[in-house]
Chains A and B, each alone.
Chain A
Amino acid sequence: MTKKHLIAILLGTVGFLLPLVLPLETLSLAGKINLGIFLMAAIFWILEPIPIYATSVLVMLMQIFLLSAESPIAGALGDFQAPAYTLYLNTLANSIIILFLGGFVLAAGAVKYQLDRNLSRIILKPFGTKPGSILMGLMLVTALLSGFMSNTATTAMMMAVILPIAAAAPEGDRFRIALALSIPFAANIGGILTPIGTPPNAIAINALVSRGIDMPFSSWMGYTAPLVISGLAALWFILIRMYPSSQARLPLQLEGKFQTSPKAIALYVIFALTVLLWVTEKLHEIPSGLVAFIPVALFPVFGIIERKEIRSLPWEVLWLMAGGMALGVAMNQTGLAVWLVELVPWAAMSPMMILAAFGVVAILLATFIANTVAATLLIPIMMTLVGSGIGDGFAIQTAALMVAVGASLGMSLPISTPPNAIAISTGLLNSSHMLRVGVVIGLVGYVLLLASAFLIWNLIF
């Protein structure tokens, strides 16, 4: 353990204890404990003395032991109607987590039978060999796949596609930078497209669902598609202008064949069925979390994925999300969210300004810390703000979308997202390239976010 980690742990501990010793008269004891957990979690999530998913489960543990009806100190919490500890634990298997589990299982099957690679090959083919159109094809494939698979796994796969092109480019060809930036940025943007595209979406949808507001899979896609498409178009335009190719044609090697074993066929069928049911949710009204259980159950039944693949699913991401959701649950139960909201004189600002400000904060925060954490810290406050009547003038769905989408738009640093980290590690570009394009995309994204909020979302909800 380094000194930096020790200091972070010390700071987190101080953060936990501080509300208990400060004279916060308007906050109940349960609220103070909750505020302590919130501060500690925020410090740990930002400084990362322990992995972010570990902080998430620590949050759950502390809430179970300090803020539940079964807690040893439950009697000392006064008026606080402590909920059963299972309320916190249930986030580990709520419908959004199952939705993600379904996405993970689909992705694991797709990787195992190379469905994702073969799909990318098919989609890329019509884009030919001209640099501009190849770049467009690469970005479209990346965005589309990252809407259904993890942004990181998609980036890794697509980097393997562009590396040979970059290696074949003549020395000093700036188009290499365009290639190396297009993949992670398209993946970051593509993650916005569906509820399972990236974890911040789950935090937002869960916050809505827990308030009894439905967010069908296809509706989310409809709300975010205009922003995703125009964001990609802007990115493409910026990249070909800033880093044009010196060549007229590029060698794009796309070999491979769809596997035709019975298991592979079963995978294709179940994969297609699941995605089809997701995107048509509005027509049949079978909830997406329920549909997600189809691959979770049928893949092992047909032996499409086995013990090895099940064990290597990214379970820690589910822990990360569940812990964040549990924190949101507690903040509502203890009244901490309301108390935090009341700290700020919101009345001095117009609702539109508040909404716009949360978008900025989400993008900035997500640039420096994990996107899921940014969403986790902001969404409970944002939701409470809307619920308290201060946010009259914009819908709660608009608020949730604003923060979740904003959390995917912070991408100007290598540490901003795992896809960025992969791209920078190739050495094809340096962080100043990433910063330059990332800031522009952040600004363009923000404008698109405001446009979506005021011109689309606010009119629908």
Chain B
Amino acid sequence: MNDPKLYILCVEDEMDVLDAILRDLSPFESTFQLEGFSSAQEAGAWIDGLDPDADRIALIYCDHVMPGQRGVDFMSELQRRESVVLKGTCKVLFTGQAGHQETITAINEAGICHYQAKPWEPDELVELTRKLLTDFVIAEAIPPLPYMSQLDQKRIAEHLHENNPFQDA
């Protein structure tokens, strides 16, 4: 039973913004796999190539306003896919400008777990990422120790205490 590889995906059409996200999230790279994409199509195709036995996408940061498929539509499409790789994935929409209808779609159909306004503070993004990754690991009952150093450690310790996922032996 090997520990799954946990991915953080970032989808953003503007290269300098994508670089900024990847740079801000680089502290997580020691423990998580960080991948950047410049379009929804590119990300969608790449996800198809993941190994359902070994890979899990923990978190997707996706821009909303992009040429081609928009963020909300891409997230809705992922929501409909029945891949193990995408089970429980936390989807964050980056947007300064989502309308009323798009917000409804985001919640009802795309399963967006968080809206992140642009621009963001790097520290804020790191803390958000840490919280969402911790949520994911706990909710999906993934053995947390290999990832603990980059998660909210107090919450993980309390989770271990309350749920006894592993024991004296």
Contact = CB atoms under 8 A, between A and B. Distances in A.
Given A153-B161, A160-B157, 10 more contacts: A53-B169, A150-B168, A153-B167, A159-B157, A160-B161, A314-B167, A370-B169, A373-B169, A418-B166, A426-B153
Contacts of B157: 156-157, 159-160, 163, 422
The 8 closest A-B pairs by CB, nearest first: A427-B149, A156-B160, A156-B161, A160-B157, A425-B148, A425-B145, A159-B157, A370-B169
A111 interface: yes
B108 to A, nearest CB: 31
A320 interface: yes
A418 B146 contact: no
Interface in B130-148: 144-146, 148
B158 interface: yes
Q: Which of A52, A151, A156 has the most CB of B within 10 A?
A: A156
Given A156-B160, A156-B161, A198 B168 contact: yes
Which of under 10, 10 to 19, 20 to 34, or 35 or more describes the interface residues of B?
10 to 19
Contact of A314 (B2, B149, B154, B164): B164
Interface of A is mostly: helix
Contacts of A288: none
B153 A312 contact: no
A317 B161 contact: no
22 contacts: A111-B162, A150-B164, A150-B167, A152-B166, A153-B161, A153-B164, A156-B157, A157-B161, A160-B161, A163-B157, A198-B168, A199-B168, A312-B164, A316-B167, A370-B169, A371-B169, A373-B169, A417-B168, A418-B166, A422-B145, A422-B157, A425-B148
A26 interface: no
B163 interface: yes
A314 B157 CA distance: 18
A164 interface: yes
Contacts of B2: 2
B167 A418 contact: yes
A316 B169 CA distance: 10
Nearest to A114: B162
Contacts of B144: 425
Contacts of B161: 111, 153, 156-157, 160
A421 interface: yes
A156 B158 contact: yes
A427 B167 CA distance: 21
Interface in A178-205: 191, 198-199
A206 interface: no
Contacts of A426: 148-149, 153
Nearest to A198: B168
A68 interface: no
A312 B141 CA distance: 13
Contacts of A2: 2
A372 interface: yes
B160 A52 contact: no
B169 A52 contact: yes
Contacts of B164: 150, 152-153, 312, 314
B166 to A, nearest CB: 6
Contact of B169 (A111, A164, A320, A425): A320
A422 B160 contact: yes
B168 A160 contact: no
